[in-house]
Amino acid sequence: MNFFQLRAILGYVTFSIKGKQFVQFFHHCAQANISLWDISLLNENEAEAKVYTVDYKKIKAVAEQLQFTMTITKQNGLSFYMLSLWNEKQKIVALICSALLLYGLSHTVWHVEINGVPVHLEQKITEQLKRMNVYRGDFSTSRLPVEAMESNIMETLPQLLYISVKKRGTIYVVEAVEKKQETSESKLTPRHLIAAKNGIIQKMLIKDGQAVVAVNDFVKKGDLLVSGRINTEENIDEANEEDEVARTLLVASEGDIYANTWYELHVSSNLFTTHEQLQGGIINHYDINIGKLAIPVKFWPKINFKEKEITEIKERTRLFNRELPITITKRTIFDKQTIEITRTEDEAKQQGIDHALEDLHIKLGKDADILKYYILHEKVESGKVKLRLYVSVLENIAQAVPITKEDK
């Protein structure tokens, strides 16, 4: 910081000193370690000089002591500017009001435009947007980001194929496309149902097609279950005996074939493990980030947690359509405790089995049922229980394959 910057910040006073032998006054000032500058003579008994505002009281005391007459001619610097501004409070009030008004206007929704959907969907989208505080005239400082709005609407309105929410300043523009439900008949082509896995058939729910297998039949992967080629009596009568194609009716086989299938799983479960648990203590701290500079705004209370988990949410401040280079960071500090858990062999075994069955269930889908399981082999090794499981499952094994020209 140079001399001129320091002067501007500290503020300085231009004063005139009147009296005989005023050099004495300057000598006393120098002795008192008071810096003076721009000392010029006005006349034989009067001089003008400048001094920092912080030293003004000292210099006044010197002048009184030496019985000199001192007059302030000018005041300069930030401190005086602030003081003069404070004296004109209406300007400050106007400035604050303008800033608040500008902030309010920039955070108010002035228009919501929905394009590309019929009226009934438009109403539903409008309702959803209202729930997320997006409607004309709404003032809110913390709205969901547009990506979250899009995913929320897509979840609640499955009839939408696509949605795009764009924020243009204080206007929201929603572009959406409705799903066009095509008739299943027009989509489906003639097909067979074959076995996707080996298994023993337990139940058959056939909607269309001709069953080739029966309940309790053992089928291998790739075996035909339901045929899409149906021989009808009418066709046999009407068509020429030599023309087999004319006697068959091709359909798109549909249905569920549930079979008992088997899986062999290898499971490993730790006897010693650690578990992190949140204790309930939460502290929120806030920072204002300007570029790389982080200014703590709320940094109390002090964090006394032995272990902590920290999450950060950063929110960019906006003014109309422009992102300001200021980010507000909310830092949430959770009180955490790490617990060391020692499990018995049975507990570890049970947990391993539960996890393995759950994983298998997720992998096979919600239609599958796990009927029973057997432990084929188990051993304890290096602090782990290792298991080999045999799991019996009831699942839909039907897999559609189109009827090719060769098949026909």
Task: Kindly state the smallest distance separating residue 51's Cβ from another protein, in Å.
Answer: 10
Of 12-20, 28-36, 130-138, 166-174: span binding another protein (CB under 8 A) = 28-36
275 token code pair: 């578990």
DSSP character string of 229-295: EEE-HHHHHHS-TT-HHHHEEE-B-EEEEEEEEEEEEEEEEESEEEEEEEEEEEEEEEEEEETTEEE
CA 51 to chain centre: 56
Residue 271 phi/psi, 5-degree rounding, is: -85, -30
Cβ at position 48, least distance to another protein in Å:
9
Q: Are strands 171-178 and 111-115 parallel, antiparallel or unpaired?
A: parallel
Cβ atoms 73, 18 nearer than 8 A = no
Range in contact with another protein (rule: CB under 8 A) among 29-37, 75-83, 157-165, 321-329: 29-37
**CA 175 – CA 122 distance, rounded (Å):** 10
Choose the binding region for another protein from 38-46, 135-143, 254-262, 286-294 (rule: CB under 8 A): 38-46
- Tell me whether residue 240 is exposed, middle or buried, using C-beta atoms within 10 angstroms of its C-beta: 0 to 12, 13 to 18, 19 or more: exposed
Is residue 38 involved in binding another protein (CB under 8 A)? yes
Task: Figure out which of the listed residues 1, 2, 20, 33 binds another protein, where binding follows CB under 8 A.
Answer: 33
Q: Toward another protein, which CB reaches closer, 2 or 382?
A: 2
Applying CB under 8 A, which of residues 31, 87, 90, 141 lies at the interface with another protein? 31
Is position 142 an interface residue for another protein (rule: CB under 8 A)?
no
Q: Identify which of residues 59 and 196 has a Cβ nearer to another protein in the complex.
A: 59
Q: Which residues contact 212 (CB under 8 A, 6 or more apart)?
A: 224, 225, 226, 227
Binders of another protein among 3-22, rule CB under 8 A? 22
Query: Taking Cα atoms as reference points, which of 195, 152, 204, 149 lies closest to residue 172?
Result: 149
Query: Which pair of structure tokens corresponds to residue 370?
Result: 């796990």
CB of 20 to another protein, least distance (A): 13
Provide the minimum distance between the beta carbon of 22 and another protein in the complex, in angstroms, as a whole number: 8
Q: Closest distance between another protein and the C-beta of residue 29, in Å?
A: 7
Q: Which residue has the tokens 């432990």?
A: 375
Q: Is 47 in the site for another protein (CB under 8 A)?
A: yes
Residue from 6, 9, 30, 297 touching another protein (CB under 8 A): that is 30
For position 37 contacting another protein by CB under 8 A, the verdict is yes
Q: Which of 1, 23, 214, 313 binds another protein (CB under 8 A)?
A: 23
Interacting span for another protein (CB under 8 A) from 23-31, 71-79, 329-337, 357-365? 23-31
Residue among 32 and 324 whose Cβ is closer to another protein: 32
At 44 the three-state DSSP class reads coil
Structure tokens belonging to residue 174:
């929603």
* Alpha-carbon distances of 239 from 11, 244, 249, 265, 331, rounded to whole Å: 111, 8, 12, 54, 80
Shortest distance (Å) from residue 10 CB to another protein: 15
Q: Could you say whether residue 74 binds another protein (CB under 8 A)?
A: no
Which residue is associated with the tokens 């088997």?
A: 262
Q: Quick check: helix, strand or coil at residue 355?
A: helix
Residue 197 identity: K
| Cα–Cα distance for residue pair 408/401, rounded to 1 Å | 13
Can you tell me which of 2, 5, 40, 67 binds another protein, judged by CB under 8 A? 40
Q: How far apart are CA 108 and CA 85, in angstroms?
A: 31
Indicate whether 41 belongs to the interface with another protein (CB under 8 A): yes
Q: Which is nearer to another protein, 48 or 217 (CB)?
A: 48
Contact set for another protein, span 252-271 (CB under 8 A): none
Nearer to another protein, 51 or 257 (CB): 51
Among 11, 12, 17, 29, binds another protein (CB under 8 A): 29
- Per CB under 8 A, residues contacting another protein are 22-23, 26-27, 29-31, 33, 35-41, 47, 49
